[in-house]
Structure formats: C-alpha cells, structure tokens
Chain A
Amino acid sequence: MANAFVAAFEILSFGAIIVLIVLGLGIIASMMGIFNFAQGEFVLLGAYITYLAYAKGLPIWAGMVAAPFVVGALGFVLEALIIRRFYAAPIVAMLGTYALGLIIREAVRGLIGGFYLTVPEPIGGSIDIGAMHISAWRFTIIVITLLVMGGCYLLLSRTNFGLRMRATLENPSLARASGISTPLMYGATFAFGSALAGLAGALIVPVFSLYADLGLRFLIQGFVAVMVGGVGSFIGPVAGAGVIGTLSAALPWVMAPVVADVLVFVLAIVFIKFRPQGLIAGKGV
C-alpha cells in the first residue's frame, strides 16, 4: 500500500514536471505553428538563473521568481530579431531555433563547465503521511504546476489579452483589421511561452541539478507530447504531456527501464501516425 502510494506520487510528480515543460512549448506550437527547438535551452536558462542567484548568495526563491521574467524578456527580443523571419516556413523555423538553442546551450556550457551543479531545494524535507514520506519540494512542484495550468487557462480563455492572442493566431488579417497589433501579439505569445520554460527550469533544477544538456533531455519528450496531445489548442498539449509524463514514469515500474524508455516513443509515434490530429482535435483554448 505504502509502496503503491509512493509510486503513484513519483509518477504524478514526473507527470507534473513534463506538463510544466510542455506548457510553453505547446503554447508556442499551437498558437504560432512553430516547433521551438530552443525551448529546451530556455528551460536551461531558467535553471541557470536560479543557480546564479544561489551562487551569489541570494535566496533561491528570488532566482526562481526572476527566471521567468528574464527568460521571457529574452524570448521577446529573440522573437523580434530572429524568429519573426521564420513564420512562413516551419522547417526553417526548426533549423533556426535549433541554431539559437545551440548558441545558448554552448554558452551556458562554457559558463558552468562540464559539471553537474546542485541547487538545494528552497522547501526541503519531506511531508510525512503516516509511515510514508514524500518530498516536500516535489509536492510543491505539483501544486505550482496546477496553479500555472489554471492561470494559463484563465488568461487565454477569460481575459481581453487572451482573446486578442487567440484572434491573432486564428485569423491574423481580420485581427489586424480590428485594430490588434499582430506583431506585438506574436512577440507577447513567444515571450509568454519562453517565460513558462524559464519557470519550469527554475523549478526543476533542485530535482535534476544543473548541467548543459538539461533542456535537451526534455525537448524530444516535449515535442512528442505536443504531437500526441494535438497542435492547435491549449488543452491538447497539456493532455499529451500528462499522458507522456505518466507513461514514461509508470512503465519502468512494470518492465525493464530500457524497453520502457523506447516503448513510450514508439507508442507515441504510432499513435500520432494513426491519429494525426492528436488526442484533442480542433482549435480553441
């Protein structure tokens, strides 16, 4: 019983981490039609900023708060300078963002060296429920993920900003005719997606420690999750991330980890092949 509960918690917390990482990726992919290969490096940057704050003696949570804003601002600048040129050709966008990601990743590698740097958890210790102990920080991640998910949903579906964002992405010319500044909205969307990646990086760095290939590890999982969930909506990628995260955390409990690892990807690709529109089809929030 206790084991089953711990297993369930592990699976849930890994699922939450994947959801957190995929949120930004999914928003950019769904709303702008760009598969951002630099997203993993935005996660890495978020983690790096948190580490910097820690290394400079600031409280860790200060770094975690700063990370999404700094990465979001960087995303805004990059969109205006570079990404903007790629909207017409999704494949070229992949290559361009890959190059961007390469630059960021190698720059960070140069800064931290080939080390694995650890950042302590801002909320340490464990929560005890009877005889069971679960990590307090992982529990916090689950809570924050739920809050961020809810916040994003409300932002996109209930606010004026979300309405304009969706209008821009669904029909740019009509949006322009209605007086919405579409370049600004594209920039804002990309910045928002990058900020979410920065937040994800900041939150996961105590769990995974900081190393240059941190983002790369999640990038392909993230892409697969977005495709499984369905490009075009907000809910789709989140659902896909839930499925992929749960599967990749749950399967190693029942079979050899190597087989499980590969099986998740094979299952996902087969699923996408026969249901290209994904779990949740259609536009919308």
Chain B
Amino acid sequence: MLIFTLSPLGRGEPRPGGPPYDAKIETLKSMTAVKRAISAEIGGEADVAMAGGGAAAPIRSTRKILPIVEGVVLVAALLAPLVLQDYLTVFATRVIILALFALSFDLVWGYAGIMSFGQALFFGSAGYGVALLARDLNVTNIFLVLPAGTLIGLTFALLLGGFLLLGRHPSSVIFVSLGTLTGSYAADRLARGWYYLGGQNGIPSIAPMSLGSYDFTEGPAFYYLVLGILVVVYLLCRFLVRSQFGLALAGLRENEQRIAFFGYKAQHLKAIIFTIGGAVAGLAGSLYAFHEGFVWPNMVGVVVSTQVVLYVLFGGSGTLIGAVIGAIIVEGVSFWLSDNYRDIWPIILGLLLLLVILFRPLGLISFVLGERERVGSFGAKPKEKRDAAP
C-alpha cells in the first residue's frame, strides 16, 4: 500500500490527473466473472480513497471494455480460417505470429518503458537457430525446436539486456535504445556476411515442424497451433503484468527514480522483463521460421525491429491486446493495399504513424479504452510484493 499513500507526489507527472492504481483483485477469468470483478472494484476504490486521502480521482463506474475487446478478437481469430480462403489462412497465420512478436515488444516498451529498437535480434536469432537445428541436425520435433527457439531468444536478451541495463551506473534511455538498435544492425551485417548462415540469401527451405510423424505445413492446423500458443502466452503475460511485478513495472515506467527510492532494484526489474520479452520474441521467431520455411538477414535487422515498433504504437502500447490489434491492422491493411498501392503504402504508414504519435500517443485502442482501464489494476496480496521484486 506504500505506493498509494505516496501517489499524491506524482501530480505533475507526464500523465497528470491519471487515476491512481486501484488494488482490486484481478482474476484471470475476468472475462466470465464480471460480477465478481465489479464487487472487488468497489472494495479497491475504498482502499485507495482511504490510503490516498483526497487525491483519489473521482470515481466513475465504467463498464469493462478490455475483456470485450479481447473476447471479440479471440472469437474473430477462432472463426477466421472457416471463412478465409486457403491463401488468406496462411497470411493470417503469419499475422498471428507477428502479433506474438508484437506482444514481446509491448512487454518491454509498453510496460517497462525500455525502448528496444532491436527486438528483431531475438526474433531473428531464434529463427536462425531453429533453421540451423533443422538443417544441420535434422531436429524438427515441435517439443524440441520451440523451447530451443525460446531459449535462444532468452539467452540473447539476457546477454544484451544484462550488458546494456545492468551496471554500477544506470544507463540512459538513449543509450539503451541506440544500443539495442546497434546490436540488431550488427547482427544483420553478421548474418549477411557469414557464409555458414547463408549470407544474403539466408537459409532456404527449412523442413516443416513435426510432431511424431505429423508435419505442420501451412494451413488451418498450423493456424490453430499458433493461435493456441498466442492465447497461452497472452494469458501468461496478462497474469504477469497484473501481478505485483507488473505494478512495480508500471511504477518504473512512470517514475523510475521513485521506484528506486522504494528499494526496488529498478535495473534488475528492467533486465528481467527485457529477458522475458526476448524469450517471447524467440518463440515467435522460431514459429515464423518454420511457417515461412526460410530465414533471411532482414529478420534480425533494423527493418523488422522497427516494424514491430509500428505495430505496438498503432495498436496502443501498454495494453497487451493493443499490440495484437496493431499487428493485425498494420499487416492487414498493408496486405490489402499491396496489390494496388504498393508504392505509396509505406508513405501512408509513415503519415499515420506520425499522426498517431502526435495526437494519439496511446494508440488506436485509446479510442475505445479509457485511461483508467488501460492502467488497470494489480492483484494479489500486498505481502507478496517482496517476493515479486527481488
């Protein structure tokens, strides 16, 4: 409860007038347990009002929109292969994988405020890793390659994040963002020049992912596999960012110094979430490599790194569903326009991005989602705070 009592100090922060975090108990099943959530919300409000004195924002009773948005997206995703033609299902699979990738960037930027311009490094290195496994060792078993990809992403993120973020002096945000950008660019150059990795052409014709004797080829089966993975990862992330750890992260994003004064090891928190983001990106990268059937240097480079930034900024950083929606919209529109307007689409994309940054910094999701619900609520008992933040 310490944070709530001190929250009046936060007036005049970048988001003035933002509601204080309420402490209501979030359940994972809030989609189905709306009633329970509402009663808990009332309890939470009372808590805040008591602890924060007069600083609590006026209480608005709002219907919860986030679960509705999530539900709509899930249902749409479930039904998509039934109505789409075959080649569109293949495209939809790619979008779902990219949404998973966007999720990883959203964790790092939207929740912890670390600008990672090199997220593709983890995505692509995992892709290259599993491609090498399939090419040189003939390993395509789904239970081996996906954990391997995740592990590769995690390892690279741990190394790079540990180097950039940890240390005696906290690194500046500029250094971290340029450091990740440089890392991704260097990896791109390395992949282009290294003969073992296929040079400019990358690694073509990767064998399909297999489960026993069944091969996952492009199509509905692959789509539902990827969608299942996305839902599981999404729920895990949702749990993570709504936990006490997520509360500490949100504090970190809003005011790093104050979180440090509370005794949290801010740099360690950042390194942890950066590593988790890297692992998710690695999982997405290994799926992408098997789905596309080839990997090429762009996949680790600046192009894909900035692509994922676009998804999340469009959709709305700081909400998990925003990242997913952003990936779907950007990829969908670019697919739709690519036939006739291939040349001007990147210009439109740049203009839209500029408009979003200038006028809708919280992304498209902020059209339907209030500030209060975006910040959300953080569950679990106060006692667990210590355990969650090492």
Interface residues of A in 102-124 (CB under 8 A from B): 102-103, 105-107, 109-110
Task: Name the A residues within 8 Å of B306 (CB-CB).
Answer: 98
Contacts of B346 in A (CB 8 A): 102, 105-106, 109
Does A94 belong to the interface (CB within 8 Å)?
yes
| Cβ A92 vs Cβ B357 within 8 A | yes
* B14 nearest CB across to chain A (Å): 8
Q: Is B201 an interface residue (CB 8 A)?
A: no
Interface flag for B351 (CB, 8 Å): yes
Q: Which residue of A lies closest to B342 (CB)?
A: A110
A96 within 8 Å of B (CB atoms): yes
B252 shortest CB reach to chain A, Å: 14
- The residue among B115, B175, B357, B361 with the most chain A CB atoms within 10 A of its own CB is B357
Residues of A within 8 A of B316 (CB): none
Complex contacts, A134 vs chain B, CB 8 Å: none
Q: Are B343 and A110 in contact (CB under 8 A)?
A: yes
How close is B271's CB to chain A, nearest CB, in angstroms? 14
Q: List residues 86-142 of chain A with CB under 8 A from any CB of chain B.
A: 89-92, 94-96, 98-103, 105-107, 109-110
**Contact pick for A262, options B172, B175, B189, B357, CB 8 Å:** B189
Q: Which residues of A contact B182 (CB under 8 A)?
A: 220, 223-224, 265, 268-269
Contact of A102 among B14, B115, B349 (CB under 8 A): B349
CB distance from B357 to the nearest CB of A (A): 5
A260 to B24, CA, bound (A): 55
Complex Cα–Cα for A273 and B190 (A): 22
A175 within 8 A of B: no
Q: Which of B119-155 contact A (CB under 8 A)?
A: none
Minimum CB–CB distance for A61 against chain B, Å: 31
Given A106-B347, A273-B167, are A99 and B174 neighbors across the interface (CB < 8 Å)?
no
**With known contacts A100-B350, A223-B178, A227-B178, A91–B173 Cβ distance under 8 A:** yes
Known A99-B350, A102-B346, A273-B164: A257·B185 in contact at CB below 8 Å: no
Chain A residues contacting B80 (CB-CB under 8 Å) are: none
A106 touches B350 (CB 8 A): yes
Return chain A residues, CB-CB under 8 Å to B172.
276
Chief secondary structure at chain A's binding surface: helix
Residues of A within 8 A of B349 (CB): 102
Contact B181 A223 (CB under 8 A): yes
Tell whether B9 is near chain A: CB-to-CB under 8 Å.
Answer: no
Q: Which of A89, A102, A265, A276 contacts B350 (CB 8 A)?
A: A102
CB distance from A69 to the nearest CB of B (A): 25
For the complex, is A55 an interface residue (Cβ under 8 Å from B)? Answer: no
Shortest CB-to-CB span from A26 to chain B, Å, is 14
Nearest-neighbor residue (CB-CB) of B176 within chain A: A91
Most chain B beta-carbon neighbours within 10 Å: one of A35, A89, A268, A269? A269
Complex Cα gap A105–B167 (Å): 37
- Shortest B180–chain A CB gap in Å is 10
Contact A276 B175 (CB under 8 A): yes
A272 & B175 in contact (Cβ 8 Å cutoff) = yes
Residues of A237-285 contacting chain B, CB below 8 A: 257-258, 261-262, 265-266, 268-269, 272-273, 276
Whether B309 sits at the interface, judged by CB under 8 Å, is yes
Check B167 against A100 for contact (C-beta < 8 Å).
no
Q: Does B366 contact A (CB under 8 A)?
A: no
A35, A82, A95, A106: which contacts B313 (Cβ < 8 A)? A95
Contact A276 to B169, CB < 8 A, known contacts A90-B174, A224-B178, A258-B189: yes
In the complex, which residues of chain A have a beta carbon less than 8 angstroms from the beta carbon of B177?
91, 94
**Are the CB atoms of B181 and A220 closer together than 8 Å?**
yes
A258 and B313 form a contact (CB under 8 A): no
Say yes or no: A95 contacts B163, CB within 8 Å.
Answer: no
A100 to B163, CA, bound (A): 31
Query: Would A35 and B174 count as touching, CB distance under 8 A?
Result: yes
Answer yes or no: A158 CB below 8 A from chain B CBs: no
Residues of A in contact with B, size category? 35 or more
B302 at the interface (CB under 8 A from A): yes
Partner of B358, one of A35, A96, A227: A96
Q: Are B178 and A96 in contact (CB under 8 A)?
A: no
Taking CB as reference atom, which chain A residue is nearest B354?
A99
Is there an interface contact between B175 and A96, defined as CB atoms closer than 8 Å? no
Are the C-beta atoms of A269 and B358 separated by less than 8 Å?
no
Determine which residue in B14, B169, B346 has the highest number of CB atoms from chain A within 10 A of its CB, and name it: B346
A95 touching B178 by the CB < 8 A rule? no
CA distance A257 to B199 in the complex (A): 13
Indicate which residue in A99, A105, A110, A261 contacts B189 across the interface (CB closer than 8 Å): A261
- Nearest-CB residue, chain B, relative to A106: B346
Interface residue? B20 (CB, 8 A): no
Q: Give A68-98 interface residues, CB cut-off 8 Å to B.
A: 82, 85, 89-92, 94-96, 98
Interchain CA distance A100-B349 in the complex, whole Å:
10
Q: How far is the CB of A93 from chain B (nearest CB, A)?
A: 10
Closest CB-CB distance, A136 to chain B, in whole Å? 31
B361 x A265 contact (CB < 8 A) = no
The interface bits of chain A over 32-67 (1 if a CB of B lies within 8 angstroms of the residue's CB, else 0) are 000100000000000000000000000000000000
CB interface residues, B 186-228, toward A, < 8 Å: 186, 189-190, 192-194
B280-293 interface code vs A (CB 8 A; 1 in, 0 out): 00000000000000
Interface 0/1 of B81-120, CB less than 8 Å to A: 0000000000000000000000000000000000100000
Asked whether, in the complex, the Cβ of B193 is within 8 Å of the Cβ of A258, the reply is yes
Cα distance A103–B357 in the bound complex, in angstroms: 14
Instruction: Assess the A269–B179 pair: CB atoms within 8 A.
Output: yes
A227 — which chain B residues lie within 8 A by C-beta? Answer: 174-175, 178
B43-73 interface with A by 8 A CB criterion: none
A212 to chain B, nearest CB (A): 10
Beyond the given pairs A96-B354, A258-B190, A262-B189, 9 more chain A to chain B contacts, judged by CB atoms under 8 angstroms and listed by A's residue number, are: A91-B115, A94-B115, A220-B302, A227-B175, A231-B174, A258-B189, A261-B189, A261-B193, A273-B175
Give 26 pairs: A residue, B residue, CB < 8 Å, sorted on A: A35-B178, A90-B174, A92-B361, A95-B353, A99-B351, A102-B346, A102-B347, A102-B350, A106-B347, A106-B350, A107-B347, A109-B343, A110-B343, A110-B344, A220-B181, A223-B181, A227-B175, A231-B174, A258-B194, A261-B189, A261-B190, A265-B182, A265-B185, A269-B183, A276-B169, A276-B175
